[in-house]
Amino acid sequence: MKLKSFLGLALLAATSAFANTPVYLDATKPIEERVEDALARMTTEEKVAIIHAQSKFSSPGVPRLGIPENWMTDGPHGIRQEVLWDEWQGAGWTSDSCTAFPALTALAASWNPEMSALYGKSIGEEARYRNKNVLLGPGCNIYRTPLNGRNFEYMGEDPYLASRMVVPYIQEVQKVGVAACVKHFALNNQEINRGVINVIVDDRALREIYLPAFEAAVKEGGAWAIMGAYNKYKGQHCCHNQYLLNDILKKEWGFDGVVVSDWGGVHDTKEAITNGLDMEFGSWTDGMRFGASNAYDKYYLAQPYLQLIKEGKVGTKELDDKVRRVLRLTFRTTMNPNRPYGSFATEEHAMAARTIAQEGIVMLKNDNNFFPIDTKRVKRILVVGENAEHRMTIGGGSSSLKVKYELSPLKGILARAKEAGVEVVYKTGYASPAVAEQDVKGAVAPEKIFDLDQLRAEAVEAAKDADLVIFIGGLNKNDGQDCEGNDRKDMSLPYGQDRVIEEIAAVNKNLAVVIISGNAVAMPWVDKVPTIFEAWYNGTEAGSALASILFGDVNPSGKLPFTFPVKLDDVAAHKLGEHPGDGVNVRYNESIFVGYRYADKEKIRPLFPFGHGLSYTTFEYGKPTIDSKTMTADGKVTVSVDVKNTGSRTGKEVVQLYVADKKASLARPVKELKGFDKVELAPGETKTVTFTIDKKALSFYDDKRQEWIAEPGKFEAIIGASATDIKGKVAFELK
């Protein structure tokens, strides 16, 4: 047979075989055709099987049809180590040490969507390499109170900022064939009683404050998965909540992905069937009680569901909808032949983590301009504080990580100081109790004996001879601090840190305080300390990122994503609302007045305002201009402002646009963030920053009419460097 004839027959055979391929296996076909084909081939038992877990982090596929399992992974800041099939403990792998990326508060503090895209791309590649097809993150719940133990996993107090930062993260994760599972939907603003507390909030606050970031995640980010929250709303658990999941998420927003339960967040089979849940996962539970092992068939959406179908008590309409969504997830991820392979714990990812961390570090205060460190004057640095060397990638709950390495602040400073020929001395200053590593089976806390008085005295004595003292403190991931499952008791720094800072300030005026936290902290010593930084939980390259800021290799450009109040009574959730509620209900009496909105309304001067952050250079703002003093109902107006770098260093400034409604039929905030742009300027350089304001930016939610309203009238466009540092205003009118 001639070669040409042989090839022709081979091609014909291949074409014939391809023609007989089931549609669901043919990646050239539209996903919806593949979904329907696969659905039609499945038995009821197979359908029920794929909507609930089979292990801690996986759910079954359909082996008979060649449809693979779904594998989930925590978390929003790095890819969790492999755990045992039915336990949280690590599986003992030697190849699962990941890159730790900065906490999402640090990402939000960058005020830079490009950093969010870099974050999503990098963490998505790590998830893909580990063959996970669902990343359990990002989180975008609103910062309502500085006591919430899980605030460090979220993106601040403002819905507009959170919306702009969450979208690029999702888009880039999903480009590598991994679903972003946005959490926790919705109103998960405290950890105390999180599994039972019912949130009572008005519709206006729900729509204006707590839902916009999730809506952006769905409509703009195109999220393929959403995780329900533990708490209740309207008396129903959020993991099977008719109003949130069916009415808003799926019907109103058109979400076509899967709703995944938080682990153990399901409580009722019939509600789970009808109220929008698609996939059930759990924790040491059979869905009804704690303690059962490998009891996944007893989950609410497992055998109890199948039994109801067999008895004719429920139909399969809801089941088919759930299965369609799971199949759609599978075809978008594991059954997409064009998925890239990803990469894991690479130098490129470590450098991405460093870049994000550098952009998020906030210089809160620099009164004596002692920073950046002048290595010609400073020859001896004293570093004080347990957080200078404390591991911050472990603990905190589900975001705990097993990392390839974690460069501590102390190591970062030591390395940079060595380059400059500067001596560094370290004193602990204070200490916290040891805790066991939560992902290690049978782990116990190591013995840790310390005397706080002695540690403090040693640090104060050493401070007398230092050219510069850098105190590195704040919070850690211990229970009752920045940690899942519990909230803080108050805003104070733990372990006697305030006293250490006060006593060092009394003997050395060249003192900088670096706070590592995911929450605002009280600073009774603020007037005695000339320089303060907020350095967040910055992951693998935390130490090098911090050192690069302190020594001036990188100009600080982070801005606060939430308000630092002076005291808890300055927070609306505590002054007007409730926290943590009565164990049954928690009332959001403050409504829309969260964060800077409340501070503006009550004329409260914060410790440090929303959007605040200093630089080693200076910026001068011109007078804002507007292209039209009138906006029609279907039109837009453009606001422009010139910003000039008037200092001697290249730097980045976050130009913020707020909008004020001068007269409205409902109470409105004094102003609301509606735009921001981070611009880089060389010394002497000027750039024009332009914002477009549309009708949406002027709207509020009328809870009586159940719709968004933009009332005709007078408005102001306000340009600021923070919520309190206002640079200019320009008026316009909506006709």
Residue 2: pLDDT over 70: no
Q: What is the CA radius of gyration of the chain?
A: 27
DSSP letter string, 576-603: TS-SS-SSSEEE-TTTT--THHHHHHHT
In tens, the pLDDT along 135-157 reads: 999 999 999 999 999 999 999 99
Residue 598: pLDDT over 80: yes
Lowest mean pLDDT among 5-14, 564-573, 703-712: 5-14
Q: How far apart are CA 93 and CA 75, in angstroms?
A: 18
Mean pLDDT of 726-735: 97
Token pair in block for residue 325: 């969504």
Report all structural domains of the chain as residue ranges with CATH numbers, in order of start.
356-560+597-602 (3.40.50.1700), 619-734 (2.60.40.10)
- Just list the catalytic residues: 262
Residue 445: pLDDT over 80: no
pLDDT band per the 50, 70, 90 thresholds, residue 233: very high
Mean pLDDT of 352-360: 98
Mean pLDDT of 421-441: 88
- pLDDT above 70: percentage of residues in the chain: 97
Token pair in block for residue 373: 């460190």
Q: How far apart are CA 294 and CA 734, in angstroms?
A: 61
pLDDT band per the 50, 70, 90 thresholds, residue 550: very high
Residue 439: pLDDT over 90: no
In tens, the pLDDT along 316-325 reads: 999 999 999 9
Q: What is the dihedral of CA 110, 114, 116, 117, to 10 degrees?
A: -170
Residue 15: pLDDT over 50: no
Pick the more confident residue, 87 or 55.
Answer: 55
Bridge partners of 469, per DSSP, are 382, 511
Q: Note the residue count of the chain.
A: 735
Residue 328: pLDDT over 50: yes
Q: How far apart are CA 255 and CA 222, in angstroms?
A: 8
Mean pLDDT of 100-112: 98
In tens, the pLDDT along 236-281 reads: 999 999 999 999 999 999 999 999 999 999 999 999 999 999 999 9
Q: How far apart are CA 661 and CA 699, in angstroms?
A: 9
pLDDT band per the 50, 70, 90 thresholds, residue 438: low
Token pair in block for residue 61: 């596929």
Mean pLDDT of 97-117: 98
pLDDT band per the 50, 70, 90 thresholds, residue 7: very low
Residue 14: pLDDT over 60: no
In tens, the pLDDT along 650-686 reads: 999 999 999 999 999 999 999 999 999 999 999 999 9
Q: How far apart are CA 235 and CA 585, in angstroms?
A: 9
pLDDT the model gives residue 19: 53
Q: How confident is the prediction for the chain on average, in pLDDT?
A: 95
Residue 283: pLDDT over 90: no
Query: Quick one: DSSP state of residue 207?
Result: I
Tell me how many degrees the CA angle 380-386-388 measures, rounded to the nearest 5: 55
- 3-class secondary structure, 441: coil
Residue 721: pLDDT over 60: yes
Residue 301: pLDDT over 80: yes
Prediction pTM value? 0.96
- 3-class secondary structure, 263: coil
Residue 13: pLDDT over 80: no
Query: Quick one: DSSP state of residue 730?
Result: E
